[in-house]
Amino acid sequence: MNLMKEEDISEIVHLAWCDKTSFDEIELQYGLSEPEVKALMRATLKPSSFKMWRKRVTGRKAKHSKKLRPKSTPDTPKRQAKPRKT
């Protein structure tokens, strides 16, 4: 981890904060497992920021792609909004 470029560390921190990026995507792109991302975040962020981030991502389905619902395919109709009564 200490051989990483500053730009890569910054990008990983950004991705880890992003709600739509899973730990699995970070691992595919940078080769860091979830515990390694947590260790990087702990080493990079201030203690209060790290605690806030951990509270935010703990139990969040979006951070684990296996827990996400499958995306709709072209064959699957999307939910349509009901027309408003006026």
Asked whether residue 78 is assigned to any structural domain, the reply reads: no
Give the domain extent around 37.
6-62
Asked whether residue 75 is assigned to any structural domain, the reply reads: no
What's the pLDDT tens digit per position in 29-46? Answer: 999 999 999 999 999 999
Which pLDDT score is estimated for 1?
54
State the Cα–Cα distance between residues 74 and 33, nearest whole angstrom.
32
Which pLDDT score is estimated for 60?
72
Amino acid at residue number 49: S
Which pLDDT score is estimated for 66?
59
Q: In total, how many domains does the chain have?
A: 1
Helix (H) or strand (E) holding 56: helix 47-57
